[in-house]
């Protein structure tokens, strides 16, 4: 059975609707959402309500968490003062606009979802704020999957879709002993592990304006990345009408994220 994994919706209703339509057209019934339902985009309530209406199992993203708990991410989350100011503006706008009911929904979301050996998180098993980038050190990437007890880890947060197979991994332990005893070596070979990043529905960062998500086939274990064209102009108009900065609309319409990622993407905020 195929199931779809979506992430980083960012209050972009037109993109979410287009992706759900695409999933429906394929006859896929099971959907998992990796969070960030809100943030930057102009329709936070509409997107949260659509996810609730469709009863899509969802884990909490960093934006969902911040809207509930308040802004307490450290300044290193942003690569520049400009990005930080825009992030804060979007945060306050969203927090003021979101209904109490929808905030309560975001507050009760779990940070991880698990189905057998499949693990679903927003950022990484360690934090909603940690980026698992495609070029992350292979040992560190393998450690994230292995210590979480998963064979395949589904994540989002980077807004860049990818499938990374981690094969041929091993852990070698060398124990130095006292006296003339030789060192004792132990090698554990790890089976293939996989990280699947679903990209972003509402704020692409992969060089195109298209929304992305992934489809996983439980039987064949194959993963495919899908791109969906949607009415970007409609969301841009909604951004302007909502009173968000015009430059947000410009960035979205050109396939640029609203605010750039931090320079040190592996940084995890001290919260």
Q: Whose Cβ is closer to other proteins: residue 82's or residue 138's?
A: 82
Shortest distance, CB of residue 247 to other proteins, whole angstroms?
A: 5
Rounded-to-integer distance, Cα 153 and Cα 157, Å:
13
- Contact set with other proteins (CB under 8 A): 79-83, 85-86, 245-247, 250-251, 254, 260, 263
> Is 120 in contact with 112 (CB distance < 8 Å)?
yes
User: From CA 11, how far away is CA 94, in angstroms rounded?
Assistant: 9
- Residues in CB range of 201: below 8 A, 6 or more apart: 6, 7, 8, 9, 10, 12, 15, 16, 19, 211, 212, 213
Q: From 10, 113, 112, select the one nearest 66 (Cα to Cα).
A: 10
Question: Which pair of structure tokens corresponds to residue 260?
Answer: 């750039």
CB closer to other proteins out of 157 and 251: 251
∠ CA 147-135-72 to the nearest 5 degrees?
70
What distance in Å separates the CA atoms of residue 15 and residue 203, rounded to the nearest whole number?
Answer: 9
- Taking the least distance from each CB to other proteins, the nearer of 53 and 81 is 81
CB of 73 to other proteins, least distance (A): 17
**CB closer to other proteins out of 144 and 261:** 261
CB of 244 to other proteins, least distance (A): 12
Nearer to other proteins, 139 or 250 (CB): 250
Least Å from the CB of residue 89 to other proteins: 9
Q: Is 68 left (phi over 0), alpha (psi -120 to 50) or beta?
A: alpha
Judged by CB, which is closer to other proteins: 138, or 247?
247
Burial class of 207 by CB neighbour count within 10 A (0 to 12, 13 to 18, 19+): exposed
In angstroms, what is the minimal distance from the CB of 217 to other proteins? 40
R_g (Cα) of the chain, nearest Å = 20
Q: Is the dihedral of CA 196, 69, 37, 107 positive or negative?
A: positive
Rounded-to-integer distance, Cα 168 and Cα 150, Å: 16
> Nearer Cβ to other proteins, position 82 or 171?
82
Nearest residue to 206 (alpha-carbon basis) of 223, 180, 226: 226
């Amino acid at each position: 059975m195929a199931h779809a994994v979506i992430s980083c919706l960012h209050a972009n209703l037109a993109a979410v609707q287009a992706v759900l339509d695409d999933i429906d057209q394929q006859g896929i019934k099971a959907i998992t959402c990796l969070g960030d339902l809100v943030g930057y985009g102009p329709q936070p309530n509409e997107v949260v309500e659509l996810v609730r209406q469709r009863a899509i199992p969802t884990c909490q993203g960093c934006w969902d968490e911040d809207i509930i708990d308040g802004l307490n991410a450290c300044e290193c989350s942003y690569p520049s003062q400009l990005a930080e100011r825009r992030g804060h503006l979007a945060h306050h706008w969203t927090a003021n606009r979101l209904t109490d009911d929808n905030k309560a929904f975001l507050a009760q979301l779990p940070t991880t979802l698990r189905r057998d050996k499949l693990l679903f998180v927003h950022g990484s098993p360690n934090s909603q704020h940690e980026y698992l980038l495609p070029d992350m050190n292979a040992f560190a990437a393998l450690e994230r999957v292995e210590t979480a007890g998963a064979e395949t880890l589904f994540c989002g947060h980077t807004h860049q879709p990818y499938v990374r197979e981690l094969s041929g991994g091993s852990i070698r332990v060398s124990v130095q002993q006292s006296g003339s005893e030789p060192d004792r070596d132990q090698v554990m070979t790890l089976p293939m592990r996989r990280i699947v990043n679903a990209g972003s529905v509402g704020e692409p960062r992969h060089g195109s304006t298209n929304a992305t998500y992934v489809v996983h086939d439980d039987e064949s274990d194959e993963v495919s990345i899908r791109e969906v064209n949607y009415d970007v102009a409609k969301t841009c108009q909604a951004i302007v009408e909502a009173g968000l900065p015009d430059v947000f609309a410009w960035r979205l319409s050109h396939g640029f994220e609203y605010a750039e990622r931090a320079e040190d993407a592996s940084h995890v905020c001290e919260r």
